[in-house]
Amino acid sequence: MDKQLSETFNHLSQQNGVVGYSVVDENGLCLKAHGPGQNNNAGFYKSLLDKSRQLSEGSEVASVTIETDTTNIFIQHNQKITLAVSKLP
């Protein structure tokens, strides 16, 4: 399974425009990261999704996109994992 996971993340990092990603566990700790700052921001990516529950009457977890002048960051939750992908606009 590790090999399959590595191949998936290699494939992700080779996608056109992808400059980084961060895989975060349910405690907000970084499992895997690629790109500048992705390791340090892991907890904050998860925090954003945890807080988004409070914006939904059904406590649904949102997908969050942050747009900046240099990159777009897509953050999504899947079971116990939070994935953040940084991509050029």
Partner 1 sequence: MNEQDILKDFKGSLIIDSEGKILSAAGTLQEEFYNSQGFATTILSMLHDVNVITTSNKQEFKRMTITFSNQTFIVTIVGQKIFVVVQ
Interface with partner 1 (CB under 8 A): 36-37, 40-41, 44-45, 47-48, 51-52, 54-57, 60, 62-71, 73
CB of 45 to partner 1, least distance (A): 7
The amino acid at 84: A
Task: Read off the amino acid at residue 17.
Answer: G
CB of 6 to partner 1, least distance (A): 25
Q: 11 near 21, Cβ under 8 Å?
A: no
Cα–Cα separations (whole angstroms), residue 6 to 1, 3, 16, 60, 70: 9, 5, 18, 30, 27
- By beta-carbon proximity to partner 1, the closer residue of 25 and 50 is 50
Comparing CB distances to partner 1, the nearer of 5 and 81 is 81
Whole-angstrom Cα distance, residue 2 to residue 86?
23
Identify which of residues 58 and 80 has a Cβ nearer to partner 1 in the complex: 58
